[in-house]
């Protein structure tokens, strides 16, 4: 290998390791912010919740800036050149392969690369293209196959919507006790069933199983599919949770999603 090319490859590997380390730090800080959510909610600390929301929104840009500043000191002028970042992309792909949050890790790399190169437009050689993202063999891709149990819980539809809500609430207990968990699970179930019936009346997609998945790092995500109906419960909850929330439990608690 040409000595110059070899030098650029070494710099690229250094950059990849620095970005991967920076991404891990950003993830830890994100988790620390998100970890306050339960206490904020239980204590009705709405101002704290808003402050955390703003901190989360700003976190990505702040951490990308920190990594970019570190790389400028490490790499010098070569760190602003495409050949180094072509090698960095290859090395970074190997570092994050198999991670359950690989797509987010790749997005973080792309943000740093664009910051370092002052990129305009997409350069597939120095960053990752989200539209071209493909799940690796065995990696979660939205279905049951390959789901990481460290990131989500899977709930069956046994017992209908009321049973499903009841099991989720049992797993998401707060310090304050629920006032009437079975009764309010039935209430929520009726609202969900009515919303599902309204969607089904418009058109019935392919059949599936009812499920709800919750995520720790990527926040709690809701996804569901019904027998003879596949749809995202998040869409339904967007309109019905305000109506149900006050009845689910005593004032300190609610369905946290």
The pLDDT tens digits of the residues spanning 210-248 come to: 444 444 443 333 333 333 333 344 444 444 443 343 333
Residues 179 and 78 in one domain: no
- E-strand ranges in the chain read 224-226, 229-231
Residues 45 and 108 in one domain: yes
The DSSP output letter for 191 is H
Query: Cα-flanking dihedrals φ and ψ of residue 153, to 5°?
Result: -110, 140
* Per-residue model confidence (pLDDT) at position 76: 93
Domain count, the chain: 2
**Close Cβ partners of 80 (under 8 Å, ≥ 6 residues apart):** 116, 117, 118
18: pLDDT strictly greater than 60: yes
Per-residue pLDDT band for 28 (boundaries 50, 70, 90) equals very high
Residues 116 and 203 in one domain: no
* Per-residue model confidence (pLDDT) at position 132: 61
Please indicate, yes or no, if residue 155 is contained in any of the structural domains.
no
141: pLDDT strictly greater than 70: no
**Close Cβ partners of 139 (under 8 Å, ≥ 6 residues apart):** 98, 100, 102, 146
* Per-residue model confidence (pLDDT) at position 38: 86
Spell 212-232 as b/e; 16+ CB within 10 A means b: bbbbeeeebebbbbbeebbbe
Q: Which of 112, 132, 152 marks a domain boundary? A: 132
Per-residue pLDDT band for 55 (boundaries 50, 70, 90) equals very high
71 sits in which H/E element: helix 46-75
**Rounded Cα–Cα distance for residues 219 and 38 (Å):** 12
Task: Tell me the whole-structure pTM to 2 decimals.
Answer: 0.65
70: pLDDT strictly greater than 60: yes
Q: What residues does 63 pair with on adjacent strands?
A: none
CA dihedral 111, 104, 225, 222 (to 10 degrees): -90
Is the CB of residue 221 less than 8 Å from the CB of residue 213?
A: yes
Q: Is 143 or 81 the better-scoring residue by pLDDT?
A: 81
* Per-residue model confidence (pLDDT) at position 232: 42
12: pLDDT strictly greater than 90: yes
Residues 92 and 23 in one domain: yes
Among 142, 139, 158, smallest CA distance to 98 is for 139
* Per-residue model confidence (pLDDT) at position 149: 63
Residues 68 and 183 in one domain: no
* Per-residue model confidence (pLDDT) at position 136: 55
User: Which domain covers residue 190, as residue numbers?
Assistant: 160-248
Q: Is 254 or 194 the better-scoring residue by pLDDT?
A: 194
Among 230, 248, 110, smallest CA distance to 188 is for 248
């Amino acid at each position: 290998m040409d000595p110059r090319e070899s030098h650029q490859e070494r710099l690229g590997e250094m950059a990849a390791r620095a970005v991967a380390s920076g991404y891990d730090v950003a993830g830890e800080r994100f988790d620390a912010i998100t970890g306050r959510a339960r206490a904020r909610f239980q204590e009705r600390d709405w101002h704290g919740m808003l402050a955390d929301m703003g901190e989360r929104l700003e976190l990505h840009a702040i951490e990308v800036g920190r990594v970019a500043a570190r790389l400028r000191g490490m790499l010098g002028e070569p760190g602003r050149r495409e050949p180094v970042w072509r090698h960095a992309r290859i090395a970074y792909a190997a570092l994050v392969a198999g991670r359950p949050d690989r797509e987010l890790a790749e997005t973080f790399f792309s943000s740093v690369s664009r910051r370092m190169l002052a990129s305009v437009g997409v350069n597939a050689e120095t960053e990752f293209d989200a539209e071209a993202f493909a799940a690796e063999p065995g990696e979660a891709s939205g279905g049951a196959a390959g789901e990481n149990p460290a990131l989500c819980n899977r709930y069956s539809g046994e017992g209908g919507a009321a049973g499903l809500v009841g099991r989720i609430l049992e797993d998401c207990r707060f310090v304050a006790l629920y006032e009437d968990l079975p009764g309010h699970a039935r209430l929520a179930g009726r609202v969900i069933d009515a919303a599902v019936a309204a969607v089904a009346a418009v058109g019935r997609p392919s059949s599936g199983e009812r499920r709800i998945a919750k995520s720790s790092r990527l926040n709690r995500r809701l996804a569901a599919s019904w027998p003879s109906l596949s749809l995202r419960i998040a869409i339904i909850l967007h309109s019905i949770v305000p109506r149900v929330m006050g009845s689910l439990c005593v004032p300190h608690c609610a369905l946290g999603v």
